[in-house]
Structure 1
């Protein structure tokens, strides 16, 4: 007698929305949008594409916790690998052990995300940990191909700049703010959290400002993390 198995497909659907929104908007902005630097719409598109870039990494991050496609590890890994690769050619098998090391040794010398210092040295340390020379090479090759096919200002504004801004966004809201400074001895996760504001928490970094909550309940996907906020 076959036993029915129920899979939760919501994470897959949400990951697909983020990935295809990023691809679709990028295709439109490269092929059909005439850049006007005086138009607020141009900068809205830059910010929107930045947010979707951040969503790619957050999707890859959730895959590292097995919550994009729970119960289907192969599909979960594929989605995570695709999302990571689309974000500046990040390599999922390299990110996975680093992220779990961060959770095991949060805000200690063994934490690859942590740096005992001020903002800019920490940011540079963060970049060194997560950007490799082969990524830079692939980005350079892609840039040179794209600028042959599409207007240069579109390539820079909507493909290059959002990737850089998203890296800054992920670092600032998801690493620096939650882990900077000293934490109380009874703070098990050595993490702080932002004040409750679900709209700002989503806009700023897909609820990862609720960072203590993430470390406390890493089994919650980003789109359910707000539920852990007291």
Structure 2
């Protein structure tokens, strides 16, 4: 029985709505947690860190969708969302991310792939991944922002709910979106040199917004994150 290939394009009317919901969810949660009176025995503190980590990852995933033109068919609007979510994700710059990400798609698991490391070793690979994507400009902007924000919010809250989640989300993105799918390189023996998480939509969403379905993403980069599960 023939199956119909699912095709989504940037004209999907929900793209902008999903992006705005992601940004507002991150901002609302952050503002609440930054004003919350810390109690290290309260479960909400640790859940708050996990929630903010997941929402930080969502900011990057939204920027990533913009890189593939799936947020909006209007290029200016699409790229504006990409710039906003990139900057909110620890002052990353959209134009720089855009170039590197498309290099990754063109040269998966090769020496021209900026996301790949031939060692296959988790910590070495993660170190090199962070080194390639972190700039002095970002660190300066984060430091200045922290000093300004501490005039309004408690430093401890800023460290726990803004700084720490932004760091943890880089590992979440790296581990589930880069390391696991590509650690075996060409041994995947498929045209995208990519592995894929076994079908489990709940796990796939909470680990990395369905990007554990990584072969599927490389095979259909025009599919936004919130539709990606349907390609599995």
TM-score, normalised by the number of residues in structure 2: 0.93
Is 1:86 aligned to 2:82, yes or no? no
Give the C-alpha shift of residue 7 in structure 1: 4.5
Counterpart in the other structure of 1:108: 110
Give the C-alpha shift of residue 147 in structure 1: 1.9
Unpaired runs of at least 5, structure 2: 1-9
Structure ranking higher on relative contact order (CA contacts 8 Å, 6+ apart): 2
Give the C-alpha shift of residue 9 in structure 1: 2.2
Superposed, 1:209-228 pairs within 5 Å as 209-228=212-231
Superposed, 1:34-183 pairs within 5 Å as 34-69=37-72, 71-117=73-119, 118-183=121-186
Q: Distance in 2 between matches of 1:174 and 1:186?
A: 19
Q: Is the 8 A contact 2:69 2:78 kept in 1?
A: yes
Q: Distance in 1 between matches of 2:109 and 2:41?
A: 43
Give the C-alpha shift of residue 127 in structure 1: 0.5
Counterpart in the other structure of 2:13: 9
Q: Distance in 2 between matches of 1:155 and 1:165?
A: 14
Unpaired runs of at least 5, structure 1: 1-5
Counterpart in the other structure of 1:3: none
C-alpha distance 84-182 of structure 1, shift in aligned 2 (>3 A): closer
Q: Give per-residue Cα distances to partners, 1:127-172, cap 9 Å, x unaligned.
A: 0111100000111111112222211211111010000000010000
TM-score, normalised by the number of residues in structure 1: 0.94
C-alpha distance 182-78 of structure 1, shift in aligned 2 (>3 A): closer
Runs of 4+ more than 6 Å apart: none
- Aligned-partner SS, 2:195: coil
Give the C-alpha shift of residue 186 in structure 1: 3.8
Is 1:22 aligned to 2:29, yes or no? no
